Structure 1
Amino acid sequence: MTNPLVEFAFGATLTSSGPVFTDVSQYVDLPKGIEINRGADEELSEIQPSTCRIPLDNTDGRFTPGRASSPYYPNVKKGVPVRVSVATFTPRTGTAPYPLEMLGDDFDDNRISSTLWPNSYGGVSEVGGRARVPLPAGSSAGYQSAREWTLVGSKLTAKLATIPAAGGSSSAFCSMYINSTTSGTRLGWRYNALTGVLSAESQVGFFDGGAVSFTYSPFSYMWLRIRESGGTLYFESSSNGANWTVRRSLATPAWVTSQTVAVEITGARTGGVTDFAEWDFVGATIHPRFFGLVQQWPTTWTGLTSQATITCTDLLTWSSIVKELQSMLVQEVLLDRPTVYFPLTEPSDSTSAGNIAGTAGVGSLALVQAGSGGTLEFAGGAGPNGLPCPVFTPASASAGKYLAADLGPNVVDANASFRLRVECWFATSTKDRVLLAMTSSDADTKMIISLNSASGALQVQSQSPGSALVATVWGTPDLADGQLHHLVYNEFTGEVAIDGVTYTTPNFNPADLRMLYIGGFQNARLWNGRISHAALYIRSVTTADLTPHYTTGTTGHAGESASTRMARLASYAGLSVTLQGSTFDAVASQADLGRSALEHMRDIARTESGKLFTSRTTGTPLIFQSRDLRYNPVAALSLEYADLETGDFEFAYDDQKMVNSVTASRPGGATQRVINQASIDAYGEKPQPLDLLKNTDNAVADAANWLISRYADPPPEVRQIPVEAYSMPLATYRALLDADVSTVIGLTGLPDQAMASTATAIVEGYAERIGQNQHRLDFHTSRAVTDTVWLLDDPIYSVLDSTTRLAY
């Protein structure tokens, strides 16, 4: 039968650290089937969010939101992380001794297999699709196989689904051991219920002085594996059964290479209350199919029978990836978690400025009038990246306007443990004016940042209660030069960074600071010029962490690679990116941003002719494929036409994808037109605009030519490959489960009416249905040779006027 694994991280969110997933597979209504849609319909379309529909038996109301008697209450909520996988098992074939990976049991028939576990003892059982091993007081129990297995070049995998409690015992443990022919010589994983410690052990005489121990967590150690390869033994763990981490390795013991072994999954305690451990999926290979978030938990009834058919989407719909971004500089500052952050980008009719760091109790910056006259014009000037910023124009050093805010008690509390890190941008032609100042509530403690009256270098004045004001001047250039500058001041290290260059001088570090003043202090030394993006970091952060903001504010990171940019944009949504392929060009600035992170990331993918989509596993949310991943594709698996579900199989030949005229442009660059005149003459003009974030006009022209060369006259292609995967041989079934966007599939034995007996297609997406003894995959595909490029002297890829397309 099919072995779907459906899990929810009840009580967790996407940003939770170490979420624990609960297996609800036994409640899935497989006759109705799990339905998944992933990827795109064809290669010229943007990849849309994946969707997953899971019908669940809700007879006991466990999936009803808000139902207090649900075992998952109160966590049946929108936004719960969900993952769907499929387990496959290698069948036992041939004669003993068998490779250990052939020891496979899903424990779903609620009876112990006398073939796999003939020597079981102590009252073990199968309950709810798991192997239950009791820990009886003063005794032991275990599943035990026959001695007919070998570990060399093989592996033993299992899921520790339930751990036992200490239960008042002086000793309680559960374990999974591979036993040699000598009593006490064994290796395996052992969990100590008293200490909560999991250990990887290679015992001799029931002891291993070199055992490696870990504090158990169900996130990191739910899946356990022992694997032998090339003379090395590996102890590995996983949170999902698919992505493994090596926890211990050692040279393979001699007995492993020479003996037939037995497996024992056991539990024991000396006293206390009887409890149990539960294991599952022994010998399974796990294939992730979907990872995302639950969008809704509808509860429906047919008579008194209840069902919850939930719908889920992947991370391309997560709120943080679709929310509107602020400018790149603001996003970069927020990534470094400032305690207080006033961008000062308010519109011209503003009379105050707000903090966007999120720290509770921080007041807004309000206008303060010193003397009479002078102006403070919001959005009156240009700051970093041309962003609007206020202009301070005093009538004199003591007559004009500045800004002040009460930062509240949380800032004071933070300042008791951490010294200030101050960041801002400024421009002035006037020395000896206050850029920024902070004081305690009673003003007995002060910190004043200004430009030295003589040199124009950065100056910090500090004062503690009962002492004089002490000035420290750093050896910076004259900063009163009218140019825009970036400042980072680190009280803790005595460092100042101006425009990315660091200067160090010891200075006094006041505490108890609460009141913030920008552009003036105590109605004197009023700033004449621009100030923006004032941030305070009252936590452990280094000067080097903050100085990259200078590059952000001056260049918008123009010229960085598309892979770096994609990771940068993903970080604004709290996500990471896994790269596939190696060709990533330099891209232009996106300093203004203003749309969703997803839209900006798609701009980069489109600029690179790459693919952006989500991972099917936890831990690596996004995948960005470069265009060279598809160059000269080689089939990862081959399917016979006779094995396909042939009702929807066809060769398509039309002008759906035809592009023979491209008008291409880039920010600040030329607008260029590239055409294929022969295609236009034959079919008429099929135009397409191409707005790319390239760094040069040549790069834009290359991209336009690449598009024309592939789609000016598209030949026939296979656009759909439907296959009943579950009926395939195991190796083919596993290869189909591994297939994803950009996987290449070879087709053989095509009908006589086809153009050729073979064809090669590349996967763009698929629709999937996992049912009872059924697993149908309907691949959306395109012609694989669309992305062939010239290889010098290659018999296939250097055919003149045919496969001599230069790579882009």
Structure 2
Amino acid sequence: MPILVEAGWGGVIQWPWSITWTDISSRVDMVQGVTITRGAQDELSEPQPGGCTMTLDNQDGWLTPGNPSSGYAPWVRRNAPLRVSALVYPVRTGAGPWPLSQMADEFDGSAINPALWPNRYGGSSVAGGRLRIPLSPGVSSGVQSARSWTLPGSSVCARMTTAPKANGSSAALSHFILDGTTNGTRLGFQFNVATQVLRCVSMVGFVDAAGVDLPYSGIDHLWLRIREAGGTVYWETSPDGWDWTVRRTLATPAWASSQQLIVTLSTSRTGGTGDYTEWDYLGAMVYPRFYGTVNEWPVTWSGLQSSVSISATDLFKRLNRLPPLRSCLVEEVVNAAPLAYYPLTEATGSAAAGDLSGTTAGPLTVAQLGSGGTLELGTAAGPAAAADALPLLTPVSATAGKYLTSDLGQGFQDGSSRGWLMVEGWFQTTTPGRVIFGMSGGGGMSQHVWSLNASGALQAESSWDGFLSVSTVASGNLTDGAWHHFAYDEVLQRVWVDGVLRASTPVTLATELRQLTVGAYKGARLWAGSIGHLALYTVPYAAPIGAVLATHYAAGMTAYSGETAELRVARLARYAGVSSVTILGTTHDPVVGQGEAGSSVVARLREVEATESGRLYAERDYLGLAYQSRDLRYNPDAAAEAFAISYADLDTHSVELADDDQKLVNSIVAARPGGATQKVVAAESILAFGLYEQDMTLLKTSDSSVVDAAYWRISRYGNPAPELREVPVEAFTMPEYTDILAADISSYFTIFDLPEQAPVTEMRVTVEGYSETIAENSHRIQFRTSASATDSVWVLGDPVYGRLDYTTRLAY
């Protein structure tokens, strides 16, 4: 079967390293096939969420949601992880001996292939499309190839689909081995079932004193591969057959270079009860096509025949359902995982301020000291980029007024005892000698207080069992009425003020902290002004985060205006819980601040993508995003193209050359936040085709870069050339099948030997997206493409791109 479909029963897509994948390929209706969509309609459209549909056999009821007798219960449910890969098996050509890279077996027949495995023993068989090798007490079982395979410059892989269990045995082994001509001379993998150790071995006389032992993982070691290249043997493992990790290397033994080898898959057991190892996909090359989650499990019946026609969506499904973003500052603090976080952004009239950490910290409530004074939430304008209003504290005096108090809870108390304290907060005042916030432990034995001294400098006060330590920070006078931010790291004993490291400040350790007061401490030093975004952290000694907290000053003041596009993309992805972002290309312009709260993370990502003429999409082989800068497409050349294909090899019933005004634009009015509104026109295009106008709002940091972006668009689409927008290929029958499978968004390829009616004999196109259907002995891909020449830029002195009559388009 040319496909591998796997369900991650019980797994969580956000934690891919913990998913145990179950092969459900045998259930797929390969007459209908598996259909996958990916990418954008054209280069001016946004890439859409990728989708996958297929019909699965449900005759045993195992795919019926809520069926308690299902072998997959209770995990047949919405958002179950799903991944799909195309499989390519090498073809053995010529006479033996053959390189190991030509060895393949799908194990799809009813019996073991006797030509490939002439030696079969101990009850080995094919069952359910897999090679099953028993582990029976006192019996050696396995299969062996003929001595007709060579290792140099070659490799062989297989998937250990079912790992055996010890079942009471003190000695049980499963092998994937290459045997030399001398008995006991071998290399490969040895799985010790009793100890659960996977060993990478290179033996002489059945001994390898330098073998590498790996604690066996059914996830990380699902696929095993032995590979030789350049005089080195590599032992590799993989969770998916695509992304390999080297576990051991060794200079290729002389015998492995010169001898013809036997491939052996075998088992043995002493005592215990019987079990088996199952192998599959021997020699398969894996090409990931989809990675996402199942939307639904609709069960249908045709008479007594039951099936499930599922649909699945990639990472963008999850991103699109996330709630609107809060301000950049709030998102940054929440993402740093505080143990207590009080933004203090509640609306006017609120009686309390809540914690956004998601822990056990209680709300901050208003408390009265003496009489008089006010504390009004939602009144004071916060830091410039944070936008949210913060509380205004107006006491009568240092000892009469209102403040806020909270019980941080048992969770924080325990955390402050086990970890190291990190704090950050914002404040604004014109009055020195007052307290920003203070914390204390049971009975007041421990305390930790941050305040401004009589000179307006930041100071830390900490005590344990009556011993008081006061440390003054060289911050200067901070009572200037402006917003200030501070961050403290107890591990490094450093303080940052307004994003700048001010001092290494030793503070006596305080533990078991639980009571929090904001704007006062112990009945005195009432704050006059505003306080907000107070966050408290505890971390292990090995994880100081103070320098990270210091960057939150920029989050509050500018929302990171001026950071480059790829950093913005990674930051926004992090807010969405996506830690893996692949950055492709090198041209990344600075962008303006992140923007106000209320927009979705996808909308913010798309703003960056549009501003930079880039490409953002979900990966097809793991949970992650890819972001391409515009220069990735500059000046495509034949050496880097994915493949070339003759027009005669296309599905010629649906090939069309388009020449219309769909992409035409010759007048652009472009603007940026806080900048000028400017107009760029292509006069010759207007004269020839009439006026085609467009408005653009870009997140650029300068007016000149806005003009550059507008010129870039208008130079490409003032007079678009005829182009192929759809290229259909029956890829499965093509000699270039693996190259076609490797093509992805922004890959390019050439169609040559076009019909005589075409304006040129060949055209190079760029992939914008595709729809594909993988069926039995068929893999039809409908590439959605654009003209690669659209992205050509002028290069001084280049024999192709330096010709004035070819392209004078300047890159930006």
Task: Please confirm whether the aligned pair reaches a TM-score higher than 0.5, indicating the same fold.
Answer: yes
Q: Which moved more, 1:328-337 or 1:100-109?
A: 328-337
Structure 1: how far apart are the matches of 2:128 and 2:787? Answer: 46
1:372 and 2:376 are equivalent in the alignment: no
Q: Which residue of 2 aligns with 1:351?
A: 351
1:573 and 2:576 are equivalent in the alignment: yes
Q: Which residue of 1 aligns with 2:550?
A: 547
Displacement of 1:59: 0.5
Structure 2: how far apart are the matches of 1:800 and 1:473? Answer: 66
Change (3 A) 1:150 1:93: same
C-alpha contact 1:236 1:248 (8 A) present in aligned 2: yes
Displacement of 1:250: 1.5
Normalising by structure 1, we get a TM-score of 0.97
Structure 2: how far apart are the matches of 1:349 and 1:775? Answer: 63
Structure 2: how far apart are the matches of 1:807 and 1:506? Answer: 53
Q: Which residue of 2 aligns with 1:160?
A: 160
Q: 5 Å matches for 1:170-185?
A: 170-185=170-185
C-alpha contact 2:464 2:508 (8 A) present in aligned 1: no
Displacement of 1:502: 4.1
Q: 5 Å matches for 1:36-435?
A: 36-319=36-319, 322-360=322-360, 362-384=361-383, 385-387=385-387, 388-435=389-436
Displacement of 1:786: 0.7
Structure 1: how far apart are the matches of 2:355 and 2:347? Answer: 15
Q: Which of residues 749, 756, 762 in structure 2 aligns to 1:758?
A: 762
Structure 2: how far apart are the matches of 1:553 and 1:463? Answer: 31
C-alpha contact 2:200 2:213 (8 A) present in aligned 1: yes
C-alpha contact 1:321 1:598 (8 A) present in aligned 2: no
Deviations 1:610-631 (A, max 9, x none): 1000111025x11111111111
Q: Which residue of 2 aligns with 1:560?
A: 563
C-alpha contact 1:420 1:538 (8 A) present in aligned 2: yes
Q: Which residue of 2 aligns with 1:669?
A: 675
Corresponding letter in the other structure for 2:626? I
Structure 2: how far apart are the matches of 1:491 and 1:21? Answer: 42
Structure 2: how far apart are the matches of 1:320 and 1:347? Answer: 28
Normalising by structure 2, we get a TM-score of 0.96
Corresponding letter in the other structure for 1:15? Q
Q: Which moved more, 1:761-770 or 1:502-511?
A: 502-511
1:769 and 2:770 are equivalent in the alignment: no
Displacement of 1:553: 2.3
C-alpha contact 1:321 1:573 (8 A) present in aligned 2: no
4+ residue segments displaced more than 6 Å:
none
Q: Which of residues 630, 634, 645 in structure 1 aligns to 2:633?
A: 630
C-alpha contact 1:320 1:573 (8 A) present in aligned 2: no
Corresponding letter in the other structure for 2:628? Q
Q: Which residue of 1 aligns with 2:645?
A: 639
C-alpha contact 1:18 1:220 (8 A) present in aligned 2: no
C-alpha contact 1:329 1:591 (8 A) present in aligned 2: no
Q: Which residue of 2 aligns with 1:612?
A: 616
Corresponding letter in the other structure for 1:704? A
Structure 1: how far apart are the matches of 2:429 and 2:415? Answer: 31
Deviations 1:508-540 (A, max 9, x none): 222222111111123321101121110010232
Corresponding letter in the other structure for 1:688? Q
Displacement of 1:319: 4.6
Displacement of 1:507: 2.5
Structure 2: how far apart are the matches of 1:386 and 1:47? Answer: 31
Q: Which residue of 2 aligns with 1:495?
A: 494
Structure 2: how far apart are the matches of 1:420 and 1:497? Answer: 15
Deviations 1:667-715 (A, max 9, x none): 1111111111121222221111111111111111111001000111111
Q: Which residue of 1 aligns with 2:722?
A: 716
Identity score, percent: 47
Structure 2: how far apart are the matches of 1:807 and 1:319? Answer: 32
Q: Which residue of 1 aligns with 2:481?
A: 482
Deviations 1:261-280 (A, max 9, x none): 11001111112111111111
Q: Which residue of 2 aligns with 1:660?
A: 666
Change (3 A) 1:184 1:629: same
Displacement of 1:468: 5.5
Q: 5 Å matches for 1:582-621?
A: 582-618=586-622, 621=624
Displacement of 1:471: 3.1
Q: Which residue of 2 aligns with 1:793?
A: 797
Deviations 1:192-228 (A, max 9, x none): 1111111111111111111111111122110111111
Structure 2: how far apart are the matches of 1:436 and 1:552? Answer: 22
Secondary structure, aligned partner of 1:507: coil
Displacement of 1:493: 4.5
C-alpha contact 1:5 1:86 (8 A) present in aligned 2: yes
C-alpha contact 2:333 2:552 (8 A) present in aligned 1: yes
C-alpha contact 2:320 2:602 (8 A) present in aligned 1: no
Q: Which residue of 2 aligns with 1:699?
A: 705
Question: Any gaps of 5 or more consecutive residues in structure 1?
Answer: none
Secondary structure, aligned partner of 2:796: coil
1:687 and 2:693 are equivalent in the alignment: yes
Structure 2: how far apart are the matches of 1:198 and 1:639? Answer: 44
Secondary structure, aligned partner of 2:220: helix
Displacement of 1:320: 7.3
Structure 2: how far apart are the matches of 1:477 and 1:195? Answer: 63
Structure 2: how far apart are the matches of 1:471 and 1:800? Answer: 72
Q: Which moved more, 1:760-769 or 1:456-465?
A: 456-465
Structure 1: how far apart are the matches of 2:190 and 2:667? Answer: 66
Corresponding letter in the other structure for 1:786? T
Structure 1: how far apart are the matches of 2:729 and 2:285? Answer: 21
C-alpha contact 1:155 1:227 (8 A) present in aligned 2: yes
Displacement of 1:80: 1.2
Number of aligned residue pairs? 801
Corresponding letter in the other structure for 1:631? Y
Structure 1: how far apart are the matches of 2:427 and 2:195? Answer: 57
C-alpha contact 2:402 2:526 (8 A) present in aligned 1: yes
C-alpha contact 1:320 1:574 (8 A) present in aligned 2: no
C-alpha contact 1:593 1:600 (8 A) present in aligned 2: no
Structure 1: how far apart are the matches of 2:782 and 2:591? Answer: 36
Structure 1: how far apart are the matches of 2:555 and 2:463? Answer: 34
Please give the root-mean-square deviation of Cα atoms over the aligned residues, in Å: 1.6
Structure 2: how far apart are the matches of 1:407 and 1:354? Answer: 11
Structure 1: how far apart are the matches of 2:696 and 2:718? Answer: 15
Displacement of 1:40: 1.0
